[in-house]
Amino acid sequence: MFIPGHAPENEGQDKCYIPVSQGQVLCSDTEGWRPITSNIWRFANPQLDATTHYIGCYFEQDCYVVLLDELPDVHEHSWFNLYQLLGLLSEIDYEVAARAVQIVNWERDHQFCGRCGTPTQNHDKELAKRCEPCDMLFYPRLSPCVITVITRGEECLLAHNPAFPARFFSALAGFIEVGETIESALRREVAEEVGIKVGKLEYFGSQSWPFPGQLMIGFLAEYESGDIVVDGVEIEEADWFRFDELPMIPPPSSLAGKLIREFVKRNEGQ
Ligand SMILES: [Zn+2]
């Protein structure tokens, strides 16, 4: 169990550590992933003076992320990035590892006030950095994104992005812009990327997507009108696929993968 937090509540309780460096997380070669114990860290760590940041309570241990500049060799441990860990860790452990990496990014990116350039200080109660002269707070940056699978009876619309491996199709996704609701962003993205108008939207679920700090908000969207016209930039190819004739799709560890499987499940049940 993991309870995110900003400051340890019981000083003196056992501690555990998640060393993070260059976007990578230290993982045991011999056991499943978990934050490493004080003993292992003390024994292995060449950078004991590294900055640490409390991130929450992991199975009744105070859990700290350790910010490192290099990737030190640690006996029977290896470094993995979050892409490599996706689908390998339980959802809770992935959330913890992703939180650790995102907090490190925030530490690095908000050392100075963006308005006046003064060095920032950690807020004592919140996960925020503060500029005293400006009285401004800087929180870890979270970028909301909407992701959707458009459905039309037994078919769904999936798209191929030039950055994907060949023949790999996924849901449509895009960032929500300032001033937009989630729903208006979804309708705009779909219209821009594939030229389709969607009708009824059904909220499905959300997922933290730490690449580098997205919150994915997933919907099933019913087709209303229009023919597919791809934008040629973000989307190279898009098509309707029957639920039992899908191309290569994302794994179930991603929200896109979950959305597509939900569409399939509903059609198989009929
Ligand atoms: Zn300032």
CATH at residue 34: 3.90.79.20
Q: Judge whether residue 12 has pLDDT over 80.
A: no
Q: What's the domain count of the chain?
A: 3
CA of 145 to the centre of ligand 1 (A): 29
- Written as six digits, the tokens of 175 are 């960032």
The helix (run of H) or strand (run of E) holding residue 28 is strand 24-28
Judge if 250 and 170 occupy the same domain: yes
Residue that finishes a domain, picked among 89, 109, 129: 109
Ligand 1 mean position, distance from CA 128 (Å): 14
CA of 130 to the centre of ligand 1 (A): 8
With 90 as the cut, is the pLDDT of residue 43 above it? no
How does the average pLDDT of the chain come out, rounded? 91
Domain boundary among 90, 109, 128: 109
Residue 113 CA to ligand 1 center (angstroms) comes to 5
- Residues 6+ positions from 150 with CB-CB distance below 8 Å: 156, 157, 172, 190, 194, 196, 198, 221, 222, 223
* Domain identity same for 81 and 168: no
Q: Do 152 and 218 belong to one domain?
A: yes
Per the model's pLDDT, the better-predicted residue between 199 and 49 turns out to be 199
Between the CA of 219 and the centroid of ligand 1 the distance, in Å, is: 39
Task: For residues 88 and 136, state if they share a domain.
Answer: no
For residues 189-214, average pLDDT: 95
The DSSP letter of residue 170 is B
Provide, rounded to the nearest whole percent, the portion of the chain with pLDDT above 70: 96
Q: Are residues 170 and 218 in the same domain?
A: yes
Instruction: Tell whether the torsion through CA atoms of 112, 116, 122 and 125 is positive or negative.
Output: negative
- Please report the pLDDT score of residue 49 as a whole number: 67
Q: Which residue range forms the structural domain that includes residue 240?
A: 143-268
Distance from C-alpha of 73 to C-alpha of 47, rounded to nearest angstrom = 12
Same structural domain, 101 and 156: no
d(CA 230, CA 238): 7
Q: What is the pLDDT of residues 128-176, one digit of tens each?
A: 999 999 999 999 999 999 999 999 999 999 999 888 777 899 999 999 9
**Cα-based angle 193, 196, 199 (whole degrees, multiple of 5):** 125
Question: 119 CA distance to ligand 1 centroid (A)?
Answer: 8
Q: How far is the CA of 135 from the centre of ligand 1 (A)?
A: 7
Strand 24-28 versus strand 36-37 pairing type: unpaired
Query: From ligand 1's centre to the CA of 134, what distance in Å?
Result: 4
The string of pLDDT tens digits covering residues 225-255 is 999 999 888 899 999 999 999 999 999 989 9
How far CA 45 is from CA of 13, 23, 189, 269, in Å, comes to: 21, 18, 47, 54
- Residues 127, 36 within the same domain: no
Of all residues in the chain, the percent with pLDDT exceeding 90 is 62
* Span from the CA of 105 to the centroid of ligand 1 (angstroms): 20
Do residues 102 and 12 share a domain? yes
216 CA from centroid of ligand 1 (Å): 31
Is there a single domain that holds both residue 12 and residue 118?
no
Same domain for 98 and 129, yes or no, is no
Confidence (pLDDT) at 45:
65
Give the lowest-confidence range in 10-19, 137-146, 197-206.
Answer: 10-19
Most confident stretch, 32-41, 118-127, 174-183: 174-183
pLDDT over 90 at 2, yes or no? no
94-103, 160-169, 192-201, 244-253 — which is least confidently predicted? 160-169
Residue finishing a domain among 109, 129, 157: 109
Tell me: do 83 and 93 sit in the same domain: yes
pLDDT computed for residue 98 by the predictor: 93
How many angstroms separate the alpha carbon of residue 129 from the centre of ligand 1? 11
User: Does residue 257 share a domain with residue 155?
Assistant: yes
Whole-number Å distance, alpha carbon 270 to ligand 1 midpoint, is 59
Q: Residue 193 carries which side chain, given as an amino acid letter?
A: E
pLDDT, greater one: 87 or 182? 182
Interval between CA 33 and ligand 1 midpoint (Å): 39
C-alpha 111 to ligand 1 mean position (Å): 11
CATH code, domain with 218: 3.90.79.10
pLDDT for 111 equals 95
- pTM score, whole prediction: 0.86
Tell me how far apart the alpha carbons of residues 58 and 185 are, in angstroms, rounded to a whole number: 36
